[in-house]
Amino acid sequence: MRLRMKFRHRAIVMSVAGALTVVYLFLSYTGFMPKMFSSHKDKLKEFMDKNPLSFSFKRWKLNEGQCRADFSVPKDVTTTQDLADRTDFNTYTNGLYNLPHAQLKDAAYGPSLKPLNVIIVPHSHLDPGWLETVDEYYNRKVKFILDHMVRKLHLYPDMTFIWAEIIFLHRWWGSQSKLIQEQFHELIKSGRLEIVSGGWVMPDEASTHYTTVIDQLMEGHQWVYETFGVKPTSSWSIDPFGHSGTMPYLWKQSGMSNMVIGRIHQGTKGRMAMEKSLEFYWKQFWSKSESDDILCHVMPYMLYSLHHTCGPDKFICAMFDFRKIPGEPEFSVIQPITDKNIVNKAKELYEQYRLKSSLFTHGTIFVPLGDDFRYDHIEEWDQQYENYKKLMKYMNSKPEWKINMKFGTITDYFNEMKQAVKSSSFPMQELSGDFFPYSDHDKAYWTGYFSTRPFDKRFCREVETRLRASEILHSIALAYSRFWKIDYKFLQRAPRLLKEARDNLGIFLHHDAITGTSKAYVVEDYEEKLLVAFDNAIQVLGSAAQFLLTKGKLDNIPSIFEPELTRASFKQASMHQKITPTKEGTRLVLYNPTSHLRSEFVEVIVDSVQFQIKDSKRKDIPFQINPVFTSSTEVDRNVFEIVFLSEILAFGIETYTFQIINRTPNSFWSKIVIYNTQELIIAPELKFEQEKPRHRGYLNEAIFIENGQIAAEFKSISGLMTKWLDKTNNKTRETKIELEFKQYTSRGSGAYIFLPTGPATDMLEGLPVVRVVEGPFCTEVQAVYVNLYHRVRLYHHPGVQGRQLLIQNALDMFVLNMRDREPIMRLETGVRNEIGNFFTDENGYQFIGRKRHSAHEQFQSIDRNYYPVTTMAFIEDGKTRVTLHTGQAHGAASLEEGWLEFMIERQLLYDDERGLGEGISDNKLTMTKYMLTVEHYDTRDFEDKFTFPSMQANILNEFLNNPILKLYTPINSEIVSPNFVPLKQPLPCDIFIVAMKSLYKSDLAYNGTSLVIHRKGYKCGYPTQGLQCPNDEVNIADLLPDVSNNDVKETSLTHLATKQSNIDLRNLQVPPMELKSYVITTGRK
Ligand SMILES: [Zn+2]
């Protein structure tokens, strides 16, 4: 038997006023209804007739003719996918790959030997947390490295050093004497000490979102420029486990023109070496401008450590690491250079350099001289310097070797190689794409870390969202404080709180943090820092909202507004706070952190149902009452979830008052149907509609939920979805979508590596309790398993919110024995995506096509076909696109036609031998969020290399990852305005305000407002109904009402270079897919 729950929307145009057309939609309850629901149906209809919901829409429609971002890949650009197609990935033990070196006799002693420049680049790789915490590393090692560096570079006037991790330099700098600071300045000025990248950390490139990558880069760049006047020109990203195609664009926009990367598949390195493309111009798929390209160098050997940098033979290279510290294992084997051994030693090294240079075309190589946390002992400085000086002197004096060897920085290298390339006839290659997945040796794929510790990946997203939102609202509060000439009291504290939040979030972008690849106790240290950032952001948000809503009339610090979502500790997922309606009225404050109009149903938890909700116009707002369950079958008698419709303009704040009343509230109790149990316990005073529990005999019943746009079918035996129906344009299109939970069993997986025994097997045990909660505003199916709570919610909204299914999972790996298991959520769909093609985002910025690779050996087709996903992945054929949006980073794959899966957790007993030394067994109850959309598109015009989401998908994803933020206060004072509306008109749909934040100098003096805007690419031809944004200019003047045009400058991404002055905030020019960055300098604070 099929259970139907049906709502129809009937649209009636009510009034036309100027450009604004207000459409009222009455939700009515018509159509076929099985007998058993008739009582519910009548009540619902009665309720809706009394409580018409008004959805106000501007009739903005996307003009297909103006569809801005349809690009096609230039045919002559090689992609990393092309490269993969001609690569032999069958790699060998110990990372010994066939790199096409020249024969030694030709490379080092041939008759036509060309001059060779060798630049030795001393460096130390400094992880802000991995086996130890960031503080332990700093105190035990990093501060000594910096102390010694100043001393020794002062002593050795031709020695050089490069420094990447600004988090450490920033910390050290504050405790230095004037003299040391001056010496440091001298080193920078002389060019012997180079700041490379200049970000707060060296970020992971798989799981990070581009907004925060920019944030940590800006944080580093602003400080480096303020302190040293330096604008970094080369990026140094040698340890992240695979490389994204978005980073080169961000580095280039930030003023860097060169970059070095390290870890890409060793097979790919071999192929690139063969094609002489280990150095190439990295192009964006979508960009036709050469100014977006950046010169990239791929380190040819396996690692950045000394053993892997002098040439192909790591045993020879190891002999040229002269660190000799008593007690260390290498102590007895290291042979310093002497007059006796120099002849042989120099020859050995010379040959390695010549072999290395045979992989390049221009006769210049650089040789990194360092490793993790090197140069922490002062002796090492002397040991490396003195021995290399002897080698340089000897080798440079051998005219027949034609070698010139010296110390230098990475930019020295790029400058010299560019000169050499200019005079050579060999053109530089161009390449588009990315370098995932990464493999170092033994056919092991580093695709596990995309999904390791999802608790923290979700935590990071919640912090990102809140920090971005609070930075924006803080900047608006500052601008209005100047405009209104009213003091913003919280200004004393906000900059420090924001700075701490940025720094803590920045640390978490480190390539051993968000990746989940640190020791468990280090993970806790990160989590504590994330919690501080989370709380700080909320404090600033509350205070800014308080200032804007009260025009500074309330001095309460901290603010009177409490966050609705809190984290009790760093080990727990965020929890909704219970809101208590009062006689005086409790205010719920909703803030929209996006530049688009939000008409959305929102939820809050309340402890009574005898109240009314009044919006900012004092209109009585109807609400739906949903049950909160205390067990799988028992409804809480004191706590409820309520759902009501909110509408908030761009960056606006709306308040809703929850006031206890004596009369019947304007509310509707939802209906509960429970399956696979005989029990449903509801206290008699609760007025939920209910059916007799459906036990035996109902196992094969289909559960059907629908709104006016879409519908979905579920199996009552599992509570899992089986089908999607699209009902728009007066036709019904059905798409098979069977959602399943499975698990892989590890045969060698660890924090980094994914290595399953074979295909995924069933994960769910037993018959779940399945609950259906139905109401006028939303309907949902909840499946309660022993180890998993899975819920799918459909909103009865005529706009974009009604175009998707919201999926939430809570997974506990400890309830059942899930050791060495890697659970996945898989969609088996009817989409005929050819040969497993699918698309994943790269850091949320752009989308790249993935092609399924065949196996090296049995089962290897699983782990090597996993890719990182930050915000969404989709599969498509010529007609249908199925997109899974995500609220946290995961690994994803499409292993068979029509399949799309996300790995949602990992519990692993064993270490995977990449240095961590432990497995992953600190799993926590993890709550994750997704949206599912299905879109139909009737042509076969689709790309396989890159594409764009639809505009609807972009907007939904933006809303998922930037939810409406909720605060509340028991104080219902007239002083608190009902709303704050800074922008009357939303920005175009494709515009995303990446950041708007107040910049502060080291002494926390205000240094202007930073504004970064992204115009997103989107694919035309998909449905656009429900989109509520105009298609005209980007006008944000009202957000900053105290600013005149001549205070606005367009700059490089991190504001180190000015591009144009006198920019008009009423009409910002942002081309499709590009980022634009501005600094607004007016104001006294
Ligand atoms: Zn590292």
- Label each residue of 603-646 as H, E or C: EEEECCCCEEEECCCCCEECEEEEEEECCCCEEEEEEEEEEEEE
pLDDT of residue 1083: 59
What is the tens place of the pLDDT at every residue in 28-58? 233 333 333 445 667 667 777 777 776 665 5
| Strand bridging mode 689-690 / 161-163 | unpaired
Q: What is the DSSP letter of 818?
A: -
What is the tens place of the pLDDT at every residue in 533-577? 999 999 999 999 999 999 999 877 778 999 999 999 999 989 999
Question: How many whole angstroms from 240 Cα to the centroid of ligand 1?
Answer: 7
Of 933, 928, 824, nearest to 872 by C-alpha is: 933
Tell me, what amino acid is at 191? G
Which chain residues have CB less than 5 Å from ligand 1, an ion? 127, 239
What's the average model confidence in pLDDT over 842-867?
83
What's the average model confidence in pLDDT over 144-151?
98
pLDDT of residue 73: 57
Residues with Cβ within 8 Å of residue 190, at least 6 apart in sequence: none
**CA 163 to CA 503: how far, in whole Å?**
18
**CA 982 to CA 214: how far, in whole Å?**
26
Question: How many whole angstroms from 582 Cα to the centroid of ligand 1?
Answer: 53
pLDDT of residue 32: 31
DSSP H or E stretch at residue 846: strand 846-850
Q: Which of 246-250, 264-268, 784-788 has the lowest mean pLDDT?
A: 264-268
What's the average model confidence in pLDDT over 378-405?
97
Q: Which of 332-346, 630-644, 706-720, 850-864 has the lowest mean pLDDT?
A: 850-864
Q: Which of 24-28, 215-219, 334-338, 1037-1041 has the lowest mean pLDDT?
A: 24-28
Question: How many whole angstroms from 125 Cα to the centroid of ligand 1?
Answer: 6
Question: Cβ(744)–Cβ(907) under 8 Å?
Answer: no
Residues with Cβ within 8 Å of residue 731, at least 6 apart in sequence: none
User: What pTM was computed for the model?
Assistant: 0.94
Query: With 70 as the cut, is the pLDDT of residue 664 above it?
Result: yes
Query: With 80 as the cut, is the pLDDT of residue 1085 above it?
Result: no
Residues with Cβ within 8 Å of residue 914, at least 6 apart in sequence: 517, 750, 751, 752, 753
**CA 1009 to CA 1049: how far, in whole Å?**
11
| Percent of all residues in the chain with a pLDDT value above 70, rounded to a whole number | 91
pLDDT of residue 714: 97
Query: With 80 as the cut, is the pLDDT of residue 96 above it?
Result: no
Query: With 80 as the cut, is the pLDDT of residue 76 above it?
Result: no
| Percent of all residues in the chain with a pLDDT value above 90, rounded to a whole number | 76
Query: With 90 as the cut, is the pLDDT of residue 423 above it?
Result: no
Q: Pick the more confident residue, 924 or 64.
A: 924
Residues with Cβ within 8 Å of residue 967, at least 6 apart in sequence: 541, 542, 545, 561, 562, 563, 564, 588, 589, 591
What is the tens place of the pLDDT at every residue in 806-834? 999 999 988 888 899 999 999 999 999 87
Helices assigned H by DSSP within 229-257: 247-253
pLDDT of residue 286: 87
What is the tens place of the pLDDT at every residue in 6-16? 333 322 222 22
What's the average model confidence in pLDDT over 764-776?
94
Active site residues: 239
| Burial call 943-981: b when 16+ CB within 10 Å, e when fewer | bbbbbbbbbbbbbbbbbbbbbbbbbbbebbeeebebbbe
Peptide bond into 558 cis (omega under 30): yes
pLDDT of residue 329: 86
Confidence band, pLDDT 50/70/90 cuts, at residue 67 = low
CA distances (Å), origin 1038, targets 324, 362, 486, 981? 63, 54, 17, 10
Question: Cβ(857)–Cβ(91) under 8 Å?
Answer: no
Question: Cβ(505)–Cβ(533) under 8 Å?
Answer: yes
Q: Pick the more confident residue, 269 or 885.
A: 885
What is the tens place of the pLDDT at every residue in 929-980? 999 999 998 665 666 788 899 999 999 999 999 999 999 998 888 899 999 9
What's the average model confidence in pLDDT over 154-161?
97
Which two structure tokens, joined as six digits, stand for 993? 């305000």
DSSP H or E stretch at residue 260: strand 258-263
Question: Cβ(471)–Cβ(464) under 8 Å?
Answer: no
Which two structure tokens, joined as six digits, stand for 959? 């809303």
Number of CB atoms found within 10 A of residue 622's CB: 21
Q: Which of 113-117, 236-240, 700-704, 857-861 has the lowest mean pLDDT?
A: 857-861
What's the average model confidence in pLDDT over 909-932?
94
Residues with Cβ within 8 Å of residue 338, at least 6 apart in sequence: none
Q: What is the DSSP string of 483-511?
A: HHT---GGGGTHHHHHHHHHHHHHHHTBT
What's the average model confidence in pLDDT over 117-138?
98
Q: Which of 65-74, 547-556, 621-630 has the lowest mean pLDDT?
A: 65-74
Of 344, 351, 347, nearest to 107 by C-alpha is: 351
Question: How many whole angstroms from 203 Cα to the centroid of ligand 1?
Answer: 9
What's the average model confidence in pLDDT over 446-472?
98
Q: What is the DSSP letter of 445?
A: B
What's the average model confidence in pLDDT over 471-478?
96
What's the average model confidence in pLDDT over 860-876?
92
Confidence band, pLDDT 50/70/90 cuts, at residue 835 = low
pLDDT of residue 7: 30
Tell me, what amino acid is at 275? E
Query: With 60 as the cut, is the pLDDT of residue 782 above it?
Result: yes
Q: What is the DSSP letter of 355?
A: H
Question: How many whole angstroms from 186 Cα to the centroid of ligand 1?
Answer: 28
Tell me, what amino acid is at 1033? E
Q: What are the φ/ψ torsions at residue 569 (nearest 5 degrees)?
A: -150, 170
Which two structure tokens, joined as six digits, stand for 146? 């910096």
Query: With 80 as the cut, is the pLDDT of residue 1055 above it?
Result: yes
What's the average model confidence in pLDDT over 1037-1051?
89
What is the tens place of the pLDDT at every residue in 665-716? 999 999 999 999 999 999 999 999 999 999 887 778 899 999 989 999 999 9
**CA 511 to CA 247: how far, in whole Å?**
14
| Burial call 281-296: b when 16+ CB within 10 Å, e when fewer | bbbbbbbeeeebbbbb
Question: Cβ(966)–Cβ(602) under 8 Å?
Answer: yes
Question: How many whole angstroms from 280 Cα to the centroid of ligand 1?
Answer: 24
What's the average model confidence in pLDDT over 117-133?
98
Average of per-residue pLDDT values in the chain: 90
Question: How many whole angstroms from 671 Cα to the centroid of ligand 1?
Answer: 53
Spell out where 373-474 has E strands: 403-407, 429-432
Q: Pick the more confident residue, 845 or 728.
A: 845
Question: How many whole angstroms from 890 Cα to the centroid of ligand 1?
Answer: 21
pLDDT of residue 47: 74
DSSP H or E stretch at residue 694: none
Tell me, what amino acid is at 725? L
**CA 553 to CA 531: how far, in whole Å?**
30
